[in-house]
Amino acid sequence: MPPLLTVEKLSVTYAGPAGSTRAVQEVSFAVEPGEVLALVGESGSGKSSVALALTRLLASPPATMSGRVQFDGRDLLTLPEADLRGIRGGAIAYVFQDPASSLNPVLTIGEQIIETVALHTSTRGIAARRAAAEWLEHVGIDEAEDRLSAYPYELSGGMQQRACLAMALAGRPSLLIADEPTTALDVTVQVQILRLLRDLQRRLNLSVLLISHDLLVVERIAHRVGVMQGGQLLELGPVSRVLQQPAHPYTQGLVELRRRMRLRTGPPDA
Amino acid sequence: MPDALLEADNVVKVFTPRDAAPWRRAAATRAVDGVTFSLQAGEAVGLVGESGCGKTTLAKLLIGLLRPDEGEVRVLGQPLQRLRGAALRSMRRVVQFVFQDPMGSLNPRLTVGEAIAEPLIIHRLAATAAERRARVEQLLASVQLPGSFAQRLPRQLSGGERQRVGIARALAVEPKTLLCDEPIASLDVSVGSQILELLRGINQRGTALLFISHDLRAVASLCRRVAVMRSGALLEEGPVDAVLAAPRHPYTGVLIRSAELDLDML
């Protein structure tokens, strides 16, 4: 099967008053159907710029993008804006770090999910409302019917992130881009959301591009991992290979850090 | 035994909603519900728990930013609430604090140098301006920042650099204790681990640490002793290794497995 997404020599440059910054430099990778590919790196490594550039979510100017992003036989970097709008939130959906700022505070959860359903599927009216409730159930929100009329502020951070996942899935994506989906959450909630993400990925055979700075998160749910630093993709490979034989000194440092932050030796961490 | 640096004796803090109608019995929250805790000289102790468990409220009680409704906080054996004026000021030389959000704890209009010099002025720790400048430079060096940073404003620094400035300012009065409330929660992994390394060095040079965090991984890498908090109460405390190996409370087990991102727990 051909890859779902093929990124070739993607570069992102931000123009600023003090000259331009090359945030992403000729990054190439592919995401296979049903695969979880993670990009790790510290703040400023360019990983979020990659995630946003894929569907041209970066304002241009100041950002300029070059290279190719092949998805479903089309190059997303040259696709007309109108066509791209059908893909964003549809075939390619996003979940971001801070659920509170991804949700519209003046619309109910239901309105926001129904909007996605109506925009990206042929379902309308009562059926769309039912579909929205079903997605809420899928992401583990109880009493989904009632929750449709809740406003974001009435939900906890973990619940908000579940709602964001429901909204993302409601567009029936084949690629989910999750940018630090658990970073803003409490430790115990983090586990719940990660488990949910893993289970949904398996159940729906989703492809996921996971952006994270935490190798442990990557280790738990990704199949392959790419390591980014200073806008470059240093190495890319199966998670177990990269963790056991990191090729690049920077990756070795990350793995060492991960080892030192380990709580206990032995299972389930070994 | 000498007096503990910092002691909480059965402290309780109750928050009552301000806008509760007088005829309605307001639902009060017992944010800290009878906590007894002490910190000895030179120790590194972690206080863990999830959001809302009361760890920050406990921290605020320990440094006198909040008054306990019941119980007592003692600093070097002295009841904190009864300290006034010069005695209170000298208490500040025993306990200093570092907060989660370094941007929020630094005055945006003060340069780094001015921010670090402020405690030196308040506590009269430098006789002349030249002495003060030298001390600021020395403090910046102790948090591995170049002396030239003294001229910068907080917004010109990265998150990790700002947190270093926050630590340098806390160290200015040579405190016996550093109370750090989620100092690495808003930093990314590698920057956070550098801050942990810095705190470890500070502890090894004799300053006691109370490290408040929801991140058991960070606590385990820095502290010898850990206290676990939930719903305003301390569930258990003990040496980190022992608690990790054999948690006595089921909730501690949940925290440990969460920190390990054990997706198959339950």
In tens digits, what is the pLDDT along chain A, a chain of 270 residues?
889 999 999 999 998 888 888 999 999 999 999 999 999 998 889 999 999 999 999 887 888 999 999 998 899 999 999 999 999 999 999 999 889 889 999 999 999 999 999 999 888 889 999 999 999 999 999 889 999 999 999 888 889 999 999 999 999 999 999 999 998 888 888 898 999 999 999 999 999 999 998 888 999 999 999 999 999 999 999 999 999 999 999 999 888 887 777 776 544 333
| A214 contact residues in B (CB cutoff 8 A) | 189
Q: How far is B243 from chain A (nearest CA, A)?
A: 11
Q: Which residue has the higher pLDDT, A174 or B84?
A: A174
Task: Tally A–B CB contacts below 8 A.
Answer: 77
- Per-residue pLDDT, B188: 77
| Gyration radius of chain A's alpha carbons | 19
CB B181 within 8 A of CB B212: yes
- Per-residue pLDDT, B50: 85
Three-state SS at B15: strand
For helices A157-170 and A187-204, give the axis angle rounded to 10 degrees: 20
| B231 contact residues in A (CB cutoff 8 A) | none
Q: How far is A250 from chain B (nearest CA, A)?
A: 11
Partner-chain contact A213 B188, CB within 8 Å: yes
Tokens standing for residue A209 = 């591009």
Residue of A nearest to B254 (CA): A188
| Nearest of A189, B191, A268, B214 to residue B226 by alpha carbon | B214
Partner-chain contact B221 A260, CB within 8 Å: yes
Partner-chain contact A257 B190, CB within 8 Å: yes
Select from B51, B260, B263 the Cβ nearest to the Cβ of A186.
Answer: B51
B215 touches chain A (CB under 8 A): yes
Partner-chain contact B255 A188, CB within 8 Å: yes
For B85-123, how does the pLDDT look when each residue is reduced to its tens digit (9 = 90+)?
888 888 888 999 998 887 888 999 999 999 999 999 999
Provide the pLDDT confidence category of residue B20 given band limits of 50, 70 and 90. Answer: low
Q: Which helix (H) or strand (E) holds B108?
A: none
Q: Which residues pair with A21 in a beta bridge?
A: A14
Q: Which residues of A touch B (CB under 8 A)?
A: 42-43, 186-191, 194-195, 198, 213-217, 219-221, 253-254, 257, 260-264, 268-269
Residue B266, judged by CB atoms within 10 A of its CB (0-12, 13-18, 19+), counts as exposed
Tokens standing for residue B40 = 């000895």
Helices (H), B30-111: 55-62, 85-91, 102-105
Residue of A nearest to B263 (CA): A195
Q: Which residue has the higher pLDDT, B65 or A31?
A: A31
Tokens standing for residue A158 = 């973990």
Q: Which helix (H) or strand (E) holds B106?
A: none
Contacts 24+ apart (CB under 8 A), B133-137: B135/B172
Q: How far is B7 from chain A (nearest CA, A)?
A: 28
CB B257 within 8 A of CB A188: no
Q: How far is B193 from chain A (nearest CA, A)?
A: 8
Contacts 24+ apart (CB under 8 A), A57-62: A57/A88, A57/A94, A58/A12, A61/A15, A62/A14, A62/A15, A62/A16
- Per-residue pLDDT, A269: 39
**Distance between CA atoms of residues A61 and A49, nearest Å:** 14
Provide the pLDDT confidence category of residue B21 given band limits of 50, 70 and 90. Answer: low
Residue B37, judged by CB atoms within 10 A of its CB (0-12, 13-18, 19+), counts as buried
| A194 contact residues in B (CB cutoff 8 A) | 261, 263
Q: Where are chain B's structural domains?
A: 98-174
Query: DSSP 3-state helix, strand, coil percentages of chain B (rounded to 5)?
Result: 40, 25, 35
Q: Which residues contact B25 (CB under 8 A, 6 or more apart)?
A: none
CB B7 within 8 A of CB B73: yes
- Per-residue pLDDT, A270: 32
B255 touches chain A (CB under 8 A): yes
The answer for B 18-57 residues in CB contact with A (under 8 A) is 50-51
| Nearest of A13, A30, A131, A129 to residue A71 by alpha carbon | A30
**Distance between CA atoms of residues B221 and B42, nearest Å:** 17
Select from B191, B220, B254 the Cβ nearest to the Cβ of A263.
Answer: B220
Partner-chain contact B254 A188, CB within 8 Å: yes
**Distance between CA atoms of residues B100 and B213, nearest Å:** 10
Q: How far is A122 from chain B (nearest CA, A)?
A: 35
